[in-house]
Amino acid sequence: MAQKNDLQNLWHDSTLIAVDVETSGQYPLSSEICEIAAVKWQNGKVIDELQTLVRVQNPMSAEVIAIHNITNEMLVDAPAIHTAIVQLHGFISDGFVVAHHAPFDLGFLAIEIERARLTLPRQPAFCSSLLSRKAFSNAPNHRLQTLIKFFQLNQGQAHRALDDARACLDVALRCFEKIGADATIAKILDYQAVPLVWGAYSIADLRSHAVYAVLVESLETHKDVQIIYAGGSRPGVSRTVHPVGLVRNPNGDFFVANDEGDEKSKRFFLNKITAARL
C-alpha cells in the first residue's frame, strides 16, 4: 500500500500539514520562536490542529509585539521551545509540510529540531507563496493577508500562528486544485521549481565548516567578528562586523551584519566569506 508521504501519490491522497511560526525577530539564531501552529489535512478535510505559545529567553521588543500582539507576559507560563518542537516534530512526521514564505519557517524550525537532537524531516516542503505566484499571477501581490482577501477566505487574526496556518492551507489547496486533480506530489514540486529540503536549513552543517562555524558562534555569543569578504566595495580586506542574523536561502545563504561604524545592516553571502574569527 502506498504511504501518505509517497511522492508519486496524487496530492489529494496525501497528508498535507500547514505550519506557521511567530518569532521575536527576523532572523534565526539571533531571534526565537514565540508561537507554533500546524493544521493537518487528509482525505479532503482538516483532521487535527496544533497550537502553542513558546516561552522566550529574551524579552521581545515593542516593535515585534505590535506585529503579532503576543506580549512577553503571555509567554511567562508557556512551554519551553524543546517541549513545543518535540510536539510539532511528531505532528508533522506523517505528511508534507506547507508554509507561506516557507524558507522563513523552515529556517527557524530546523534549528530547533536539531537542538532537540531530532531528525530533520526527509520529505520536501511546499511554499504557498511560491505556488500562488505561478498559479495566481493575477493576484495584487502574494502576501498571505492579500491572498486571504483575493480568495475571500476567513480573515482570522493576522500574524497569529493558527489563523495563518489555516489560511496557508486554504491558499495551498487553491493552488493544488489549479495545478490539477491528477497532479502527483512530485508534479507539484516540479511546478514549484524551487526545492525546499529541510537539510538545506541545517545549522549543524554550518558548524562543520571552519569559517561558517565562527559566524554561528558570533551570533550565539553576540560577539563581533572579523571577516574577509570576496565582494562588495572592499574585497579581500579584513573588516569587523556586528552579527545580526544568518539566513539559509534557496537563492544563496547569507550573513547579516553591521559594518563597523555603520548602523545599516548588510548581507554577506556565505560563499564569498573566505575567513572569519571572533
- Structure confidence at residue 275 as a pLDDT band (50, 70, 90): very high
The matching CATH number, chosen from 3.40.50.2300, 3.90.550.10, 3.30.70.920, 3.30.420.10, for 11-201 is 3.30.420.10
| pLDDT given for residue 1 in this prediction | 34
CATH number of 204-277: 2.30.30
Q: Torsion-angle region of residue 236: left (phi > 0), alpha (psi -120 to 50) or beta? A: left
Q: Is 87 exposed, middle or buried (0-12, 13-18, 19+ CB in 10 A)?
A: middle
Q: What are the cell numbers at 49? A: 490542529
Q: Say which residues have a Cβ less than 8 Å from residue 144's Cβ, sequence separation at least 6.
A: 100, 128, 129, 164, 167, 168, 171
Q: How confident is the model over 177-223, as pLDDT tens digits?
A: 999 999 999 999 999 999 999 999 999 999 999 999 999 999 999 99
Q: How confident is the model over 143-174, as pLDDT tens digits?
A: 999 999 999 998 787 779 999 999 999 999 99
Start-end ranges of CATH 2.30.30 in the chain?
204-277
Q: How confident is the model over 79-111, as pLDDT tens digits?
A: 999 999 999 999 999 999 999 999 999 999 999
Q: Please state the rounded mean pLDDT for residues 37-47.
A: 97
Residue 95 neighbours by CB distance under 10 Å: 20
Q: How confident is the model over 213-270, as pLDDT tens digits?
A: 999 999 999 999 999 999 888 899 999 999 999 999 888 999 999 987 787 899 999 9
| pLDDT given for residue 154 in this prediction | 83
- Structure confidence at residue 2 as a pLDDT band (50, 70, 90): very low
Q: What percent of the chain has pLDDT over 90?
A: 90
| pLDDT given for residue 10 in this prediction | 96
Q: Is residue 6 within 8 Å of residue 185, measured between CB atoms?
A: yes
Q: Please state the rounded mean pLDDT for residues 65-74.
A: 95
Q: Please state the rounded mean pLDDT for residues 121-127.
A: 97
This prediction's pTM: 0.93
Return d(Cα 11, Cα 2) in angstroms, integer: 13
- Structure confidence at residue 25 as a pLDDT band (50, 70, 90): very high
Q: What are the cell numbers at 77? A: 507560563
Q: Which long-range contacts (CB under 8 A, 24 or more apart) does 54-63 make?
A: 54/78, 54/79, 54/80, 54/81, 54/84, 55/79, 55/80, 55/81, 56/24, 56/32, 57/32, 58/24, 58/32, 60/24, 60/25, 60/34, 61/24, 61/25
| The pairing of beta strand 265-269 with beta strand 254-259 | antiparallel
Q: Is residue 19 within 8 Å of residue 162, measured between CB atoms?
A: no
Q: Say which residues have a Cβ less than 8 Å from residue 62's Cβ, sequence separation at least 6.
A: none
Q: Which amino acid is at 202?
A: S
Q: Nearest 5°: CA angle at 110, between 218 and 214?
A: 20
Start-end ranges of CATH 3.30.420.10 in the chain?
11-201
